[in-house]
């Protein structure tokens, strides 16, 4: 048996089948799909959540569904959030999921290779990057960048809710292109915590930025 991976055929293993079944079960979908591809699996998961059949879901919905599904493929939340940097997100925080699912098999396979390589290197030569080491490396620049971002968020949060809309957060990041690389902007958009409505909880931004610098 074979599954499709980025337009190529890859032989299906027992582990592949177990992962598919676990992901289908977690998504509440039928388990009788024969040799379903990862792209088709995600399409079924997303369509099941797209009650109005609009072809789009919020960023938070896609992120949560990816984590619930791809966790069975040995990928961490960090991995799935990194995958999301490849999705086209609208200014108001929606993702058109069909193009993303078409590219997903190859992206997932690459993420699995990176995760395996990371685990191999970590187990072979464990190292720990401490907060003190980050402070020594980036010094006041990290503190000042975090302060500027949080202050900009507070300015847009007159009711002191601790959260702002994604589109507001995106504008803040792009306005700080003098301090953030394009890659950091993309990663912050994925890793910044969201509340139940998909708004960005900005109070933890210093810790998120620190983690990205590790």
**101 touches 46 (CB < 8 A):** yes
At 1, the pLDDT band (50, 70, 90 cuts) reads very low
In the predicted model, what is the mean pLDDT of residues 138-159?
Answer: 89
pLDDT at 21 (0 to 100): 62
**200 touches 163 (CB < 8 A):** yes
pLDDT at 9 (0 to 100): 41
**150 touches 205 (CB < 8 A):** yes
pLDDT at 97 (0 to 100): 92
At 106, the pLDDT band (50, 70, 90 cuts) reads confident
Q: How far apart are the first and last CA of the chain?
A: 41
Q: Which of 70-79, 148-157, 174-183 is predicted with the least confidence, judged by mean pLDDT?
A: 70-79
Q: Which helix (H) or strand (E) holds 57?
A: strand 56-58
pLDDT at 40 (0 to 100): 81
**93 touches 59 (CB < 8 A):** yes
Could you tell me the CA-to-CA distances from 116 to 1, 33, 73, 94, 123 in Å, in that order?
24, 28, 12, 31, 11
**59 touches 166 (CB < 8 A):** yes
Q: Which of 17-31, 93-107, 149-163 is predicted with the least confidence, judged by mean pLDDT?
A: 17-31
At 10, the pLDDT band (50, 70, 90 cuts) reads very low
* In the predicted structure, residue 127 carries a pLDDT above the cut 60: no
Mean pLDDT of the chain: 79
Entry pTM: 0.72
* In the predicted structure, residue 8 carries a pLDDT above the cut 50: no
Compute φ and ψ for 53, nearest 5 degrees: 50, 45
pLDDT at 26 (0 to 100): 63
């Amino acid at each position: 048996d074979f599954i499709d991976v980025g337009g190529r055929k890859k032989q299906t293993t027992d582990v592949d089948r177990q992962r598919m079944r676990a992901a289908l079960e977690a998504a509440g979908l039928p388990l009788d799909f024969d040799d379903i591809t990862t792209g088709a699996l995600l399409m079924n998961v997303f369509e099941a959540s797209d009650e109005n059949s609009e072809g789009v879901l919020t960023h938070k919905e896609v992120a949560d569904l990816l984590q619930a599904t791809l966790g069975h493929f040995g990928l961490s939340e960090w991995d799935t959030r990194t995958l999301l940097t490849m999705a086209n997100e609208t200014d108001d925080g929606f993702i058109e999921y069909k193009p993303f699912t078409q590219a997903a098999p190859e992206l997932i396979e690459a993420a699995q290779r990176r995760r395996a390589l990371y685990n191999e290197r970590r187990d072979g030569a464990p190292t720990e990057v401490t907060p003190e080491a980050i402070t020594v490396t980036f010094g006041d620049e990290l503190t000042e960048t975090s302060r500027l971002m949080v202050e900009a968020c507070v300015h847009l949060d007159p009711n002191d809710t601790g959260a702002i809309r994604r589109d507001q957060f995106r504008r803040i990041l792009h306005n700080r292109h003098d301090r953030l690389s394009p890659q950091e902007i993309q990663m912050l958009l994925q890793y910044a915590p969201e509340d139940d409505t998909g708004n960005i909880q900005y109070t933890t931004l210093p810790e998120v930025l620190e983690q990205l610098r590790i």
